[in-house]
Amino acid sequence: MTHEAIELHALLHRIAVRTGIAAAWGIVARAGAAAGGGLLLWALATMIVPVPFPLGRSAVALGAILAATWSVLVWRCRPSASVAAQIADRRAGLCDRLSTAVELLARSPQPAGLARLQVADAVIAAQGVEPRAVAPLRVPRETWLAGAACLLLLLWAHFLVGWSLPATPAAKALAVVHREGQSVIAAGRRLEAVGRSQALPEAQRLAPQVQALGRRLEGPRVDREQALGLLRDVGRQLGAAQDLLQRQLDASLPQTNAPGASSRPTSAAQAGADGQRLQRLDAAVRQVRALTGQLERGGAPVDPQSLSTQLRALAESLDQMNAPVSTRERINQARQEAAQGHLSAASGSLNEAMQDLQGLERMVGDEQALGDARQNVQQSAARIAEQGPLGGANVPVSGEPSPSAPPPQASGPNPPSGTTDETGAPPPPGPNQGSLPGQGTGPQLGAATPRLQGTRVQVHVQGVPGEGPSSMREIVAPGQGGTSRLPAGRPPAAVAHELDRAMSEAPLPPTFLQLVRQYFETQGGTP
Amino acid sequence: MTEPAGSRDVDEFRRSFAAVRQELGRVIVGHESLLDLVVTALVAGGHVLLEGVPGLGKTLLVRTLAQALDLRFSRIQFTPDLMPADILGTNLIVQDDAGRRRFEFQPGPVFAQIVLADEINRATPKTQSALLEAMQEHAVSTAGVSRPLDEPFFVLATQNPIEMEGTYPLPEAQLDRFLFKLRVVFPGLDDLRAIAERTTGPEDPTVSQVADAAAVLRMQVIARQVPVASHVRDYAVRLVLATHAASPQASAAAKRFIRYGASPRGLQALIRAGKVRALVQGRLNVSVEDIQALALPALRHRLILSFEGEAEGVDPDDLVRQAIEELGAVPTPAGGA
């Protein structure tokens, strides 16, 4: 290839690349404008129908697609040398000099006669050609359209997202979300109350999150998909905490499955098992407390034989419910001490056993409370999801009971007449619980306040902080003192539960956690 | 085999063309593009049909051209009673000194290098067609003998577009043999003043010889070597097809007003004349602009209008212009914005 040909092709290559970029940019700009317009319409449609609109993901996907398309188009739209020469001829007014030269060079690398003179003439003409002028990289007009669409989308995301036009399916879906927000707040309050009254650590920790979720759902700018996502997140957190408790309970208090039963019980079966376990623990705690009170009252003389018999029955009961070995050992120890006439020592052993059982009881209660809250969250999510992406059929706008509730059975002084409400639709099914008299509508009443079943442990601290030693005395029961320092032994289940939780939250490597666990288990004499 | 032309040949071509053009301009007032096209046709090896009213200097143009090139010039005044033999020549019985008689060919006025066929449409078609072979083959056949004409051979015919009575329109085959059909327009005010001043003075303007027949032939050879890019050739082809009503590329006006479009000779005329124009314009390649500039003179006489076109008095020039417009300036390359 001659020097002239190399020079000519270098120029045409630059023109071809710039032309390809410009063409690709134009196509991508048109596609971007169309896609931006589509997204804008989609966003506006969410104000009428509650269709999901993942703006962030759509924008990222669209950007990635456009970038990939641009790269491919730059390569595909790059014209050949002949076409690039024609473009340069036309835009630089070269009267087909370059295209003729390219063709002559393609026919013969060493042209002769007038062809050689023509190529030389074309090279001279090409020296005055500026690729930037011949193939300018102008911003296509459609780019401004795409930019305007993006700007409008940003404005929509900032000011209009979550809004809906009145009397539209979107408004109805939003009303359902708001109502479920109230329901979630109530569930959060219940969880908080249960956690506080029963000293349930996980319930107390997660209750604020559930309430915050409810308040977020009650807010003015939350759409259906967002609400479902938030509910999923909180449900996942509740489920994770519940699973952790479940694993700890299974380790401390293994259940005895019936032969042939499924290895993974259903949630209903699990709830039943938990209730049964809680009842047994409660009964065991009451029994231990009664025995301890009997020993510590010191009024009437205690018959060691009778006490031993009662303790044996208690030990058998604990055996049946697979109570922890340490608890059973302490019961046996109390029985032996009672048989030997050491009633005070027997009382101490029973106290320790009772603390173990109370810790287990709190864990079961914690797990049960989390399960209830999780169920409430899942029900709310299900009710929101029932509306479907297009708003469902008959959705109450505000303050109406959940459609999944039983039909109303109001029989107040002013019962609802007929089966139509203001909108002409029949009243939603649901129980009369929480409805206003004669209206069939109104806020739901909360769940019944759970009874306080545990023994309250009060901690009194004496002394002034920073001045001299302080002493602490635990009062296990009213008027009954206990030891402030426990002998080395296996920690109670509640303490182990707290420690496990604290360690799981600490940013420590698993091997280190294992070392810590082994240390305390060794100190506690765990086999 | 033709010897490849070099830069010196190209320079000589341009110098000769400019000199001839300058000599013509010294005598002929105005008609700049007409003079350019006449010389272009001569160098391209074609013939020209001039259409204009009498007295516009057509004869003067031909005579000046012949003088500038030192070519033999003859003028044939076409009349209804003109016979082919009056043009081509005839065999006469000649008696020599010994008393022997023999036939001897007496060449007609066509045996020149520049022939002015004045008012060609006044002769009968039979006489008009006598020029067919001479124009196409550059030869004359009489009595079974073909006699070549001297090169360069250039016919410049005229016809009066006003006086149509007693005329015989040129047949399509005859028209097709003209490279260009040029319209001689009436001069303007300034041109008329210049004509009055130049032709009524004490001395007539003199013409000097600036080239000869060999130079013209050499120019013709050089012009044929000018390269044409394929897309330019395609453009010329599409332009010719655009004048055909039955063609998919036909323009809307062509479909309505044209019965027969331009022939392949029209395509040849576009390319050959385009090569000359490219050299004259300082280029060594034919461009689309050359084709567009030459489309009117090269194609206007090759379009046969339909009855509707004739009835509505459609100008073929308008049809060619519309075909150019519908074809676009340049084919849009793929990938171009």
Per-residue pLDDT of A152-167, as tens digits, reads 988 888 888 777 888 8
Give chain B's largest Cα–Cα span.
85
Element (H, E) at A120: helix A114-127
Count the helices and strands in chain A (H runs, E runs). 16, 3
For residue A232, pLDDT over 60 is answered with yes
Q: Given pLDDT bands bounded at 50, 70 and 90, which one contains residue A405?
A: very low
Chain A touched by B227 (CB under 8 Å): yes
Q: Given pLDDT bands bounded at 50, 70 and 90, which one contains residue A453?
A: low
Amino acid at A155: L
CB count in 10 Å sphere of residue A480:
14
Residues B154, B150: Cα–Cα separation, whole Å: 10
Q: Which residues contact B271 (CB under 8 A, 6 or more apart)?
A: B228, B233, B236, B286, B291
Angle value at C-alpha A490, between A485 and A496, nearest 5 degrees: 95
Look at A114 and B225 and tell me if their CB atoms are within 8 Å: yes
CB count in 10 Å sphere of residue A294:
18
CB count in 10 Å sphere of residue B265:
19
Q: Is the model more confident about A53 or about B244?
A: B244
Look at A96 and B231 and tell me if their CB atoms are within 8 Å: yes
Q: Which residues of chain A have a CB within 8 Å of the CB of B333?
A: 79, 83-84, 86-87
The per-residue pLDDT for B297 is 92
Tokens representing B30 are 């105005």
Q: Which residues of chain A have a CB within 8 Å of the CB of B10?
A: 114, 117
- Over pLDDT 90: what percentage of chain A? 3
ipTM: 0.82
Q: Given pLDDT bands bounded at 50, 70 and 90, which one contains residue A298?
A: low
Say how many Å lie between the first and final Cα of chain B, rounded: 44
The per-residue pLDDT for A477 is 52
Contact A8, A126 (CB under 8 A): yes
Q: Given pLDDT bands bounded at 50, 70 and 90, which one contains residue A218?
A: confident
Look at A95 and B334 and tell me if their CB atoms are within 8 Å: no
pLDDT tens, residue order, chain B (337 aa)? 566 777 788 888 999 999 988 888 888 887 888 889 999 999 999 999 988 877 778 888 888 888 888 888 888 888 888 888 888 888 888 888 888 888 888 888 889 889 988 888 888 888 888 888 888 888 888 878 888 888 889 999 988 877 677 788 888 888 888 999 998 888 888 888 888 777 777 777 778 888 888 888 999 999 998 999 998 999 999 999 998 888 888 888 888 888 888 889 999 999 999 999 999 998 899 999 999 999 999 998 888 888 888 888 888 888 899 888 888 755 444 443 3
Side-chain-facing half-sphere of B119: CA atoms under 13 Å: 17
Q: Which residues of chain A have a CB within 8 Å of the CB of B285?
A: 95-97, 100-101, 118, 121-122
Contact A203, A366 (CB under 8 A): yes
Residue of B nearest to A107 (CA): B229
Contact B48, B156 (CB under 8 A): yes
Partner residues linked to B181 by β-bridges: B49
Q: Is B97 exposed, middle or buried (0-12, 13-18, 19+ CB in 10 A)?
A: exposed
Residue indicated by tokens 């060493």: A110
Task: Tell me which of A117, A119, A121, A138 to substitute to probe the interface with B (most B C-beta atoms closer than 10 Å).
Answer: A117
Three-state DSSP at A472 gives: strand
Contact A410, A437 (CB under 8 A): yes
B85-88: long-range contacts, CB 8 A cutoff, minimum separation 24: B86/B127, B87/B127, B87/B130, B87/B131, B88/B130, B88/B134, B88/B140, B88/B142
A10-44 per-residue burial string, b: 16 or more CB within 10 A, e: under 16: ebbebbbbbbbbbbbbbbbbbbbbebbeebbeebe
CB count in 10 Å sphere of residue B130:
22
Look at B7 and A86 and tell me if their CB atoms are within 8 Å: no
* Side-by-side strand order, sheet with B73-77: B73-77, B114-118, B154-159, B48-51, B180-183
Element (H, E) at B50: strand B48-51
Partner residues linked to B260 by β-bridges: B304
Highest mean pLDDT among A21-30, A298-307, A330-339, A509-518: A21-30
Look at B289 and A95 and tell me if their CB atoms are within 8 Å: yes
Look at B335 and A86 and tell me if their CB atoms are within 8 Å: no
Contact B117, B77 (CB under 8 A): no
Residues A63, A122: Cα–Cα separation, whole Å: 42
Chain A residues near any Cβ of chain B (below 8 Å)? 16, 19-20, 22-23, 26, 77-79, 82-84, 86-87, 89-90, 95-97, 99-101, 103-104, 112-115, 117-118, 121-122
Tokens representing A138 are 């102008």
Partner residues linked to B106 by β-bridges: B90
Strands B114-118 and B73-77: parallel
Q: Which residues contact B333 (CB under 8 A, 6 or more apart)?
A: A79, A83, A84, A86, A87
Task: Tell me which of B3, B275, B285, B289 to substitute to probe the interface with A (most A C-beta atoms closer than 10 Å).
Answer: B285
Look at A96 and B286 and tell me if their CB atoms are within 8 Å: yes
Task: Tell me which of B284, B289, B332 to substitute to probe the interface with A (most A C-beta atoms closer than 10 Å).
Answer: B284
Distances (CA, A) of A366 to A254, A361, B7: 17, 8, 102
Pick the closest to residue B280 from B36, B91, B25 (CA basis): B36
Shortest Cα distance, chain A CAs vs residue B258, angstroms: 31
Q: Is the model more confident about A187 or about A414?
A: A187
Average pLDDT, chain A: 76
Task: Tell me which of A90, A96, A104 to substitute to probe the interface with B (most B C-beta atoms closer than 10 Å).
Answer: A96
Tell me which of A93-107, A198-212, A344-358, B278-292 is least confident: A344-358
The per-residue pLDDT for B191 is 82
Dihedral, A193, A199, A204, A210 alpha carbons, nearest 10? -40
Q: Is the model more confident about A171 or about B1?
A: A171
Angle value at C-alpha B250, between B248 and B252, nearest 5 degrees: 120
DSSP B195: H
Q: Given pLDDT bands bounded at 50, 70 and 90, which one contains residue A266?
A: low
Residues A296, A480: Cα–Cα separation, whole Å: 8
Question: Rg of chain A's alpha carbons, rounded to an integer?
Answer: 39
Residue of B nearest to A73 (CA): B335
Residue indicated by tokens 């004496």: A462
Pick the closest to residue A208 from A373, A407, A418, A6 (CA basis): A373
The per-residue pLDDT for A269 is 64
Give chain A's largest Cα–Cα span.
137
Distances (CA, A) of B162 to A454, A514, B59, B232, B302: 128, 118, 18, 37, 20
Contact B122, B80 (CB under 8 A): yes
Residues A366, A360: Cα–Cα separation, whole Å: 10
Three-state DSSP at B220 gives: helix
Distances (CA, A) of B286 to A125, A135, B22: 15, 24, 24
The per-residue pLDDT for A475 is 52
The per-residue pLDDT for A418 is 40
Helices A55-76 and A3-45: crossing angle in degrees, nearest 10, is 160
Q: Closest partner residue to A23 among B227, B230, B335, by Cβ? A: B335
The per-residue pLDDT for A304 is 72
Q: Which residues contact A450 (CB under 8 A, 6 or more apart)?
A: A193, A194, A197, A198
The per-residue pLDDT for A486 is 54
Look at B285 and A22 and tell me if their CB atoms are within 8 Å: no
Q: Is the model more confident about A483 or about A93?
A: A93
Look at A96 and B229 and tell me if their CB atoms are within 8 Å: yes
Residues B73, B209: Cα–Cα separation, whole Å: 14
Q: Closest partner residue to A87 among B4, B10, B333, by Cβ? A: B333
The per-residue pLDDT for A489 is 66
